[in-house]
Amino acid sequence: MRVLGIDPGLRVTGFGVIDVIGQARHYVASGCVRTPSDATLPIRLKSIIDGLFAIIDEYRPQQVVVEQVFVNVNPQSTLLLGQARGAAISAAVMRDLPVAEYTALQVKQAVVGHGKAAKEQVQEMVKRLLSLEGYPQSDAADALACALCHANHHGSLVQGLAAKGFRIKRGRLA
């Protein structure tokens, strides 16, 4: 299963692609889509979508994961972030990809083990879990963490079903 994690933002949208094979997670790619800072909102949203389309078309993920964002203290920032998030999800659904959502708490618990981890701890664990040589950029690390979180939840879902006596055969319950 190939998973694309997205950490949406109006200025910088991080992305991270991993392959999930049983309990193994393999790094495929990560980076950022940056929008022109002097552009209007519609142009910025278009550059987020165009960037994500290029990533989806190149890496062909089967699942997309987007972090459920914090509601910011500043309502105007919340609105801007909501619009960027709307554009990012739009890009995924326009390519007919299923989109999963996790809270920041779930993502941090999945990769660091507790929900109050700092950004640096997320970067450190993403580097270790994916055997990276260097630290990924902060937004890219968050996107990879989302993808890792989804891999774990997907895994534990399968294990949970197995414990209940179900088996999954060719993607269907048997």
* Polymer length of the chain: 174
Instruction: State in angstroms the smallest separation of the CB of 53 from a copy of itself.
Output: 9
From 96, 124, 139, 142, the catalytic residue? 139
Residues 6+ apart with CB under 8 A from 73: none
Rounded CA separation 66/113 (Å): 19
DSSP 39-70: S-HHHHHHHHHHHHHHHHHHH--SEEEEEEPP
For every residue of 79-119, which 3-state class applies, written as one string? Answer: HHHHHHHHHHHHHHHHCCCCEEEEEHHHHHHHHCCCCCCCH
71 versus 118: smaller Cβ distance to a copy of itself: 71
φ/ψ (deg, to 5) at 171: 80, 0
φ/ψ (deg, to 5) at 7: -115, 95
Instruction: State in angstroms the smallest separation of the CB of 75 from a copy of itself.
Output: 4
* Residue 90 found at the interface with a copy of itself (CB under 8 A): yes
Q: For residue 7, say whether it is annotated as part of any ligand binding site.
A: yes
From 57, 67, 101, 124, the catalytic residue? 67
Any catalytic annotation for residue 101?
no
* Residue 75 found at the interface with a copy of itself (CB under 8 A): yes
Any catalytic annotation for residue 67?
yes
74 versus 156: smaller Cβ distance to a copy of itself: 74
Q: For residue 139, say whether it is annotated as part of any ligand binding site.
A: yes
Any catalytic annotation for residue 139?
yes
* Residue 12 found at the interface with a copy of itself (CB under 8 A): no
Binding mask 31-50 for a copy of itself (x = CB under 8 A): ---------xxxx-xx--x-
* Residue 94 found at the interface with a copy of itself (CB under 8 A): yes
